[in-house]
Amino acid sequence: MTKSATLLYRTTDSCSQQKRRGAKAALFVGAALLISAAFTGAASAQTLGYAATPDSRIFSADDPAMVAPDQAAPDDRGAGVADEDTLLPDRLRRTVVAYDSTQPPGTIVIDTAHTYLYYILGGGRALRYGVGVGREGFTWAGTQTITRKAEWPDWHPPAEMIARQPYLPRFMAGGPGNPLGARAMYLGSTEYRIHGTNDPTTIGKFVSSGCIRLTNEDVEDLFSRVNVGTRVVVLPKTAPRQIEARSSSSHRMSRLNVSTTAID
């Protein structure tokens, strides 16, 4: 092979090697860019408060993401009010009872001593709810009317409560974490309310500063039945319990749009 042919061969081989090295470098840079982009996307997702989900994710019927929004969050605040009655003992679950009262239908009667709220149906019957009432020194008695109704009410702790519990917030917007719960019915011009709760375990107990609390499920039910102007009778803690007789007729709870079937 002549010198010029050898030089040409070596030059061509050198160019081929450079091209191969260039191609490998391009592949390496491309792979690095893809990895960087994926990392940046995941980091951005975490910064924005959600988890990056690969397109190949497989959903199952049990995956929460497959639950329809109206099932996961049936209310307008996304609280997803569960069947809270199942958390209560039988005696505190919403039910119809035979209850003789001189109060007209539509009246609310609070049996403070036994932590019950009765919604008078008439015909010797009442719809009974378990409630939480005022703790020692904070129970009260009297007659009021509902002057305002609110859904997912904001909470403004009164000055007297803040003086007793200075760690309380001065304001809390309505929502699932709000201690007033899903609904509130304000009584007269007082600080007292009938409201929901973010802690169903307090139902049946003497825990509040005078307000009457129900589970969110129950307060939504009661809220739908009453109007502004509804009469509310709060019995003293020392009042004897109204005797509840077992209903002699087979009234169906479904006729009253109530989810339980027990008749007391």
pLDDT digits (tens, 9 = 90+) for 106-165: 999 999 999 999 999 999 999 999 999 999 999 999 999 999 999 999 988 888 888 888
Q: What is the pLDDT of residue 42?
A: 38
First-residue to last-residue Cα distance in the chain = 113
How many whole angstroms from its chain centre is CA 33? 44
Average pLDDT estimate for 222-251: 78
pLDDT value at 193 more than 60: yes
> Looking at 15, 114, 156, 195, which residue is catalytic?
195
CA 238/CA 215 separation, integer angstroms = 25
* Six token digits for residue 196: 């929901």
- Mean pLDDT (the chain) is 73
Distant-in-sequence, close-in-space partners of 5: CB < 8 Å, separation ≥ 6: none
Distant-in-sequence, close-in-space partners of 198: CB < 8 Å, separation ≥ 6: 176, 177, 178, 179, 181, 216
Residue 114: CB atoms within 10 A of its CB come to 18
> Looking at 15, 156, 211, 251, which residue is catalytic?
211
Q: What is the pLDDT of residue 227?
A: 98
Q: What is the pTM of this model?
A: 0.62
Q: With bands split at pLDDT 50, 70 and 90, how would you rate the model's confidence at 22?
A: low
* Six token digits for residue 118: 């009765």
Q: What is the pLDDT of residue 245?
A: 54
Average pLDDT estimate for 189-214: 95
Tokens 């200075």 -> residue:
166
Query: For the chain, how many residues are written?
Result: 264
Quick check: is 195 catalytic?
yes
Domains in the chain with CATH codes: 84-247 (2.40.440.10)
pLDDT value at 50 more than 80: no
Q: Which amino acid is residue 106, in one-letter code?
A: G
> For residues 264 and 253, is the Cβ–Cβ distance under 8 A?
no
Phi, psi of 114 (to 5 degrees): -110, 10
**Among 63, 118, 81, CA closest to 96:** 118
Average pLDDT estimate for 34-58: 35
Quick check: is 15 catalytic?
no
Exposure string (b/e) for 148-174, b if CB count within 10 Å is 16 or more? ebeebbebebeeeeeeeeeeeeeebeb
